[in-house]
Structure 1
Amino acid sequence: FATQFTGVNAFMYFTPIILRQTGLGTEAALIATIGDGLVAVGATFAGIWMIGRFPRRVTLLGGLGGVVLAHLGLGATLLLLKGSEIESYVALGFILLALLFIQMMVSPLYWLLMSELFPMRARGVLTGLSVSSQWIFNATVAFLFPIFLHAIGPGTFFVFATINVLSFCFVARFLPETKGFSLEKLETHLKEHFSPDTAVSEEAVDPAPLRIDRHADIT
């Protein structure tokens, strides 16, 4: 849910529509979307570099914070600079800024965290369900975004900003740091800290075999 509601695919699919609303011609709007692809590719490589060097939580929180600011900036641009000569350029700048944060600091982390946080015994099933939900929410955003853009205009981006503020709060409150843990140690760590009632310590179990006195009297 959180990945798709960063607005990543709203920008990848509908940037020409957004820019046409700023007065940019159709051909120019389509050409401008080349920047979407270039930023997405470059940011993805930068994200791969960052994953191995920075804590997961810090990276993800920084990315979500940047996405919030980009959506607020885009919404404000479409409201306050409407009809001005620089509206199209400023709007495109905020779109590219949002994509930079998403593709560099948000999307790579969500895919990585799926493999790290799910327990090994159910990792395949849960990862499959997560990927399925990604496509469902992808389709949801693709369907609803034009409707919202037509109905409330720039307010659409304030809605995205609000959702990402909630995502930021959720990550800050609940997401544990996973960098530096092997998958086995991470699963043990999560059980100890987040499932105290279900985690069973191996040291608490007496390894001595059960002894049965075959000569005991039974009454």
Structure 2
Amino acid sequence: MGAKIFSNVYAIGAFAAIAGIMFGFDIGSNSGVIGTEQYQLFFEKPSALLQGGINGALSAGCFVGALGSGYPADRFSRKYTLIAASALFIVGSIFQAACNGVAMLCVGRVLNGISVGVTSMVVPLYQSEIAPKEIRGRIVAVQQWSITWGIMISFWIQYGCQYFNNTAAFRVPWGIQGVPAVILCAGMWAFPFSPRWLADQGRMEEAFQVLADIHGNGDRTHPRVIVEMEEISATIHFDKEIASHRYSDLLKPGMAYRVFLGVALQIWQQLTGMNIIMFYVVFLFQQAGIGSDQEAQLVSSGISYVVNVVMTVPAILYVDKWGRRPTLIIGALAMSIFLWIVGGILATGTWSIGPKDKYIVELDNKHKANAVVACIYLFVASFATSWGPLGWIYPAEIYPLRVRAMAVSLSTASNWLFNWILNFVVPMLMEEIHYGLYLLFAAFNFLMCVHVFFAYPETKGYTLEEMDVIFEYNPRKAIPRDVMDQRLEERGIRRNEEKKAYEARQAGSVDEKSGHEENV
């Protein structure tokens, strides 16, 4: 029974996604405590510049971790890289919880950032390589769901800890964030290596057994296992005999376009404006005069985190049915509309300097304030069902094995770079251009909708080994099966009639197609 759990695709993907909880904990671990009196007194009321440096230490570490994670993921495996990163996160959490000043706090945040940067790249990569094509999006989307859980739990832990009258108000949240890292570090040893990584290392027998365990209930003669193993073997042969295995391939025509799409998608994910909501939602509600006191503003803010968690569930269940392109396009369009409305409503108010020298807006009736709250929640829901999970799914599935780790690390690093930029820029923009900030991000969402429509092919329902053909055609709709077979045969991947008949039976439900009913 235990062996079945450790070879179950859903269990493997979900356990690896514990790194997402670490991700969410660390993102939210500072936002709720920096305004408490206990924090301000202990760190002697850090200046805006110093506080910006403390906040930015995490994003800087994430950028470095994501950028440098490609080599260890290729050299030492996805599995061992995750274990090492989780161990580093434990150390960073200890540094933060035990800090005696700003220097030690920043060291801990940098270490945690490096860990989060590594795991935010490696987890979607690992999940995409162990999942069958029919449920690959669902498995990788669990990573985003875990992030939303981490952010929400972290927020409410901080909310409760604010009532401590000593340094426990910030030490407890910083210490608790290490718990999921301990679980991941201890438990990941029991789960398998990526079969595609094993095959790329020449360990074909082990790769075959892992595929049999996770896709065929241990049966090596299962048609899916045979088809997938032959595809992987032929693709690796093609890469090593005809193509090359160098990172310079990322700059070659065709491949550079794919790298651009992955990097652009991760940058667009940051430019959706979700950071405004997740990091500065308390200030946003305060700015709009919503809630009569800090308690009401915090509760209103906390609801947005709950919406984020709940509305990621439809993406997990249906992203492999909806498809990547329509989900991204409709999500961006919806977010654009809701931000236009928020900006438009705030533009009708009277702006003035309020408490703590912060600009606030006075709206002429309560209905407008309620409309702002509703549109913010709808914006969060739109992000959670679209760009939240797809930002991790799409880049993890579009590259060939020979450069996949390095290409995904570049796209993830671009995400963290823009995260770091926005952490510094957004507070200033909220003060300088007021409602114009929401109109700016509304425009970004509209532009990303147009970009996806014209530039991004549909990848739903294809194996990772079929992506080269997908990007040759750059289709907006499915490629005919006979065309795909012909192109695969040119790469040494041949499907006999038995395999074709098996794949034809995959037209049923997701669980029927993947043959995982008995494994779940």
| Band of TM-score, shorter chain | 0.7 to 0.9
Aligned to 1:58: 326
Relative to structure 1, is the Cα distance of residues 133 and 30 closer, same or farther in structure 2, using a 3 angstrom cutoff? same
Q: TM-score, normalised by structure 2?
A: 0.37
Q: 1:126 aligns with which of 375, 393, 407?
A: 407
CA contact (8 A) 2:271 2:444 kept: yes
Structure 1 position 19 matched with structure 2 position 285: yes
3-state DSSP class of the match of 1:2? helix
CA contact (8 A) 1:56 1:109 kept: yes
Q: 1:109 aligns with which of 381, 384, 390?
A: 390
Aligned to 1:207: none
Q: Cα distance, 1:157 vs. partner?
A: 0.5
Structure 1 position 175 matched with structure 2 position 441: no
Aligned to 1:4: 270
Q: 1:156 aligns with which of 434, 437, 462?
A: 437
Q: 2:288 is aligned with what amino acid?
A: T
What CA deviation, in whole Å up to 9, does each residue of 1:143-199 have, x standing for no partner? 111111111110101100111111111100000011111111122231x325xxxxx
Q: Distance in 2 between matches of 1:127 and 1:185?
A: 18
Q: Distance in 1 between matches of 2:490 and 2:366?
A: 71
CA contact (8 A) 1:22 1:88 kept: yes
Q: Distance in 2 between matches of 1:43 and 1:67?
A: 14
Aligned to 1:98: 379
Q: Distance in 1 between matches of 2:460 and 2:328?
A: 12
Q: Distance in 2 between matches of 1:27 and 1:73?
A: 26
Q: Distance in 2 between matches of 1:112 and 1:201?
A: 23
Q: 2:306 aligns with which of 38, 63, 67?
A: 38
Runs of 4+ aligned structure 1 residues displaced above 4 Å come to: 200-204
Aligned to 1:209: none
Q: 1:139 is aligned with what amino acid?
A: W
Bigger mean CA offset, 28-37 vs 77-86: 77-86
5+ unaligned residues in a row in structure 1: which ranges? 195-199, 205-219
Structure 1 position 188 matched with structure 2 position 469: yes
Q: Distance in 2 between matches of 1:88 and 1:141?
A: 25
Q: Distance in 2 between matches of 1:8 and 1:174?
A: 23
Relative to structure 1, is the Cα distance of residues 26 and 203 closer, same or farther in structure 2, using a 3 angstrom cutoff? closer
Q: Which has the higher relative contact order, 1 or 2, with Cα contacts under 8 A spaced 6 or more apart?
A: 1
Q: Cα distance, 1:129 vs. partner?
A: 1.6
CA contact (8 A) 2:338 2:375 kept: yes
CA contact (8 A) 1:23 1:83 kept: no
Q: Cα distance, 1:202 vs. partner?
A: 6.8
CA contact (8 A) 1:44 1:103 kept: yes
Bigger mean CA offset, 22-31 vs 62-71: 22-31
Aligned to 1:147: 428
5+ unaligned residues in a row in structure 2: which ranges? 1-266, 350-362, 475-486, 492-520
What CA deviation, in whole Å up to 9, does each residue of 1:80-104 have, x standing for no partner? 3523223332111111111111111
3-state DSSP class of the match of 2:321? coil
Aligned length: 199
Root-mean-square deviation (CA, aligned residues, Å) is: 2.0
Relative to structure 1, is the Cα distance of residues 62 and 2 closer, same or farther in structure 2, using a 3 angstrom cutoff? same
CA contact (8 A) 2:336 2:442 kept: yes
Q: 1:141 is aligned with what amino acid?
A: L
3-state DSSP class of the match of 1:92? helix
Q: 1:79 aligns with which of 337, 341, 347?
A: 347
Q: Distance in 2 between matches of 1:48 and 1:5?
A: 22
CA contact (8 A) 1:22 1:83 kept: no
Q: Distance in 2 between matches of 1:22 and 1:87?
A: 10
Q: Cα distance, 1:42 vs. partner?
A: 0.6
Q: Distance in 1 between matches of 2:380 and 2:289?
A: 22
Q: 1:117 is aligned with what amino acid?
A: I
Q: Cα distance, 1:203 vs. partner?
A: 4.7
Q: Distance in 1 between matches of 2:286 and 2:490?
A: 66
Q: Distance in 2 between matches of 1:146 and 1:83?
A: 25
Aligned to 1:28: 296
Q: 1:19 is aligned with what amino acid?
A: F
Q: TM-score, normalised by structure 1?
A: 0.84
Q: Cα distance, 1:201 vs. partner?
A: 8.7
Q: 1:58 is aligned with what amino acid?
A: P
Q: 2:336 is aligned with what amino acid?
A: V
